[in-house]
Amino acid sequence: MRPFHVLAFGALVLPLSAFAADPHSYAQPDQVRVTHLDLDLKIDFPHKQLDGQATLQLDWKDAKAPSLVLDTRDLKIASIEGIDAAGKASALKYVLAPRDKELGSKLTIATPQHPAQVRIVYTTVPAASGLQWLDPEQTADKKLPFMFSQSESIHARSWVPLQDSPAVRFTYTAHVTAPKDVRVVMSAINDAKHPLNGDYSFNQPHPIPSYLLAIGAGDIAAKETGPRSAVYAEPSVVGKAAKEFEDTEKLIETAEKLYGPYAWGRYDLLVLPPSFPFGGMENPNMTFATPTLLVGDKSLVSVISHELAHSWSGNLVTSAAWRDIWLNEGFTTYVQGRITEAVYGKTLADEEALISARGLQKTIKDMPENAQRLAPKPGIGADDSISEVPYDKGSWFLRTLEQRFGRDTFDTYLKGYFAHFAFQSIHTEQMLDYLKANLIDKYPGKMSWDEVQAWVYQPGIPKDAPLPDSPRFDAIDKQRAAFLGGSLAADKLDAKGWNTQEWMYFLDGLPDVTPLDKVKQIDAAWHLTGTPNAEIGMRWYSHAIAAGDKDVWPAAAEHMTRIGRLYLTMPLYKAFAKTPEGLAYAEQVYAKAKAGYHPMTQEAVQAVFAKANKNSK
Based on the shown chain and the rule CB under 5 A, indicate whether residue 1 belongs to the binding site for Zn ion. Answer: yes
Q: Is the dihedral of CA 288, 560, 336, 404 positive or negative?
A: negative
Min separation Cβ 212 and Zn ion, Å: 12
Options 244, 307, 352, 388, the catalytic residue: 307
Asked if residues 215 and 203 have their Cβ atoms less than 8 Å apart, the reply is no
Min separation Cβ 451 and Zn ion, Å: 26
Q: Which is nearer to Zn ion, 81 or 152 (CB)?
A: 152
- Residue of 394, 392, 404 lying closest to 357 (CA atoms): 392
Min separation Cβ 282 and Zn ion, Å: 6
Element (H, E) at 139: none
Distance, CA of 262 to CA of 285 (rounded, Å): 10
Min separation Cβ 264 and Zn ion, Å: 16
Which residue stretch of 1-9, 64-72, 101-109, 399-407 sits at the interface with Zn ion (rule: CB under 5 A)? Answer: 1-9
Asked if residues 559 and 532 have their Cβ atoms less than 8 Å apart, the reply is no
Number of residues written out for the chain? 617
Min separation Cβ 382 and Zn ion, Å: 15
* Amino acid of residue 97: A
The two counts, helices (H) then strands (E), for the chain are 18, 21
- Can you state the angle between helices 449-457 and 428-435, rounded to 10 degrees? 160
Min separation Cβ 612 and Zn ion, Å: 30
Q: Which is nearer to Zn ion, 105 or 151 (CB)?
A: 151
3-class DSSP assignment, residue 574: helix
Three-state SS letters, 584-596? HHHHHHHHHHHHH
Angle at 608 between CA 307 and CA 371, to 5 degrees: 55
Min separation Cβ 329 and Zn ion, Å: 5
Question: Per-residue contact track with Zn ion, 53 to 92, x per CB under 5 A?
Answer: ----------------------------------------
3-class DSSP assignment, residue 170: strand
CB burial of 110-119 (b: ≥16 within 10 Å; e: otherwise) equals: ebeebbbbbb
Element (H, E) at 508: helix 500-508
Distance, CA of 318 to CA of 152 (rounded, Å): 13
Based on the shown chain and the rule CB under 5 A, indicate whether residue 398 belongs to the binding site for Zn ion. Answer: no
Q: Which is nearer to Zn ion, 251 or 519 (CB)?
A: 251
Q: Return the C-alpha torsion angle 456, 330, 170, 307, nearest 10.
A: 180
Q: Which is nearer to Zn ion, 183 or 393 (CB)?
A: 393
Q: Which is nearer to Zn ion, 311 or 569 (CB)?
A: 311
Q: Which is nearer to Zn ion, 267 or 573 (CB)?
A: 267
Question: Per-residue contact track with Zn ion, 180 to 219, x per CB under 5 A?
Answer: ----------------------------------------
585 assigned to active site:
no
Q: How many CB atoms lie within 10 A of CB 294?
A: 19
Q: Could you tell me how many residues of this chain bind Zn ion (CB under 5 A)?
A: 4
Options 391, 413, 573, 590, the catalytic residue: 391
Q: Which is nearer to Zn ion, 327 or 510 (CB)?
A: 327
391 assigned to active site:
yes
| Residues 293-332 interacting with Zn ion (rule: CB under 5 A) | 329, 332
- In the complex, residue closest to Zn ion by CB: 1
Q: Which is nearer to Zn ion, 1 or 339 (CB)?
A: 1
Element (H, E) at 569: helix 566-576
Q: What are phi and psi of 26, to 5 degrees?
A: -85, -10
Min separation Cβ 303 and Zn ion, Å: 9
Min separation Cβ 310 and Zn ion, Å: 6
Question: Per-residue contact track with Zn ion, 328 to 367, x per CB under 5 A?
Answer: -x--x-----------------------------------
Edge to edge, the sheet with strand 117-123 lists 89-91, 76-83, 117-123, 49-60, 32-44, 169-177, 199-209
Three-state SS letters, 293-324? HCCCCCCCCHHHHHHHHCCCECCCEEECCHHH
Asked if residues 138 and 2 have their Cβ atoms less than 8 Å apart, the reply is no
Based on the shown chain and the rule CB under 5 A, indicate whether residue 281 belongs to the binding site for Zn ion. Answer: no
Q: Which is nearer to Zn ion, 75 or 426 (CB)?
A: 426
> Which residues contact Zn ion by CB under 5 A?
1-2, 329, 332
Which residues does the annotation mark as catalytic?
Answer: 307, 391
